[in-house]
């Protein structure tokens, strides 16, 4: 029984291990020219994948990213400059395709928005704390209360020093 179970386990493990070879994808083809491929990597590293949105075009493995890299590679081979390629991508997909969009009126909110939200949050916190402090009544301790507090503190201090010598 144990031998049959171990043979079955070995068979299932072998089939699962071999399935990785069947399901593996081929590596994305590189350009014939390493200079073209290096330019492609530099340009696509500055662009955002439109599917992943939080990953660069160079690092994404989505189908759209593969198509966009192929398009950029074709533009490089066609002799376009880096600026012309960026302009082509922005004209086609908007400023969102760039990781660092230019500062212009349409992107002001994108650049200034996080700082404005932080400023409003800090101002709201300060207003809340000020109102809370004003709503708490201030009480002044009498001389007798101060003497009792001092006596309690001295007693607590002497008890902690006595316990530390043991």
Structure letter (DSSP) for residue 28: P
By the 10 Å C-beta count (0-12 exposed, 13-18 middle, 19+ buried), 40 is classed as buried
CA distance 81 to 96: 20
Closest by Cα among 58, 61, 56, 67 to 92:
67
Structure letter (DSSP) for residue 107: G
**pLDDT of the residue at 5:** 67
The residue-averaged pLDDT of 134-140 equals: 84
35: in domain: yes
Contact 121, 78 (CB under 8 A): no
Phi-psi group of 2: left, alpha or beta (phi > 0 → left; psi -120 to 50 → alpha; rest → beta): alpha
Q: How many domains does the chain have?
A: 2
Any idea which residue has 């590679």 for tokens?
73
146: in domain: no
- pLDDT tens figures, 9-46: 666 667 666 666 555 555 555 556 788 888 999 999 99
In this structure, the answer to whether residues 90 and 119 fall within a common structural domain is: no
In this structure, the answer to whether residues 40 and 84 fall within a common structural domain is: yes
Phi-psi group of 65: left, alpha or beta (phi > 0 → left; psi -120 to 50 → alpha; rest → beta): alpha
In this structure, the answer to whether residues 72 and 117 fall within a common structural domain is: no
**pLDDT of the residue at 78:** 92
Q: Which domain holds residue 112?
A: 103-135
- Indicate the average pLDDT of the chain: 83
The residue-averaged pLDDT of 119-137 equals: 94
Closest by Cα among 87, 52, 56, 54 to 69:
56
CA distance 83 to 102: 13
Q: Band of the pLDDT at 106, cuts 50, 70, 90? A: confident
The CATH number linked to 83 is 1.10.8.640
162: in domain: no
Higher pLDDT, 15 or 123: 123
Whether the full predicted model's pTM is greater than 0.75, yes or no, is: no
CA distance 95 to 116: 21
- Name the maximum alpha-carbon separation found in the chain: 91
- pLDDT tens figures, 39-91: 999 999 999 888 887 888 888 888 988 999 999 999 999 999 999 999 999 99
The tokens describing 91, both together, are 């004209």
């Amino acid at each position: 029984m144990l031998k049959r179970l171990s043979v079955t386990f070995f068979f299932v493990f072998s089939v699962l291990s071999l399935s990785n070879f069947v399901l593996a994808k081929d590596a994305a083809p590189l350009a014939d020219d390493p200079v073209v491929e290096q330019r492609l990597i530099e340009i696509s590293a500055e662009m955002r994948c439109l599917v992943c949105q939080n990953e660069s075009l160079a690092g994404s493995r989505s189908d759209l990213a593969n198509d966009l890299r192929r398009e950029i590679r074709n533009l490089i081979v066609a002799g376009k400059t880096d600026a012309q390629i960026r302009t082509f991508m922005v004209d086609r997909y908007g400023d969102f395709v760039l990781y660092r969009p230019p500062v212009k009126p349409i992107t002001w909110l994108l650049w200034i928005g996080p700082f404005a939200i932080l400023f409003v949050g800090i101002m709201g916190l300060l207003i809340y704390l000020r109102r809370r402090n004003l709503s708490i009544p201030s009480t002044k301790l009498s001389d007798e209360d101060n003497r009792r507090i001092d006596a309690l503190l001295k007693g607590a201090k002497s008890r902690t020093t006595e316990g530390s010598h043991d």
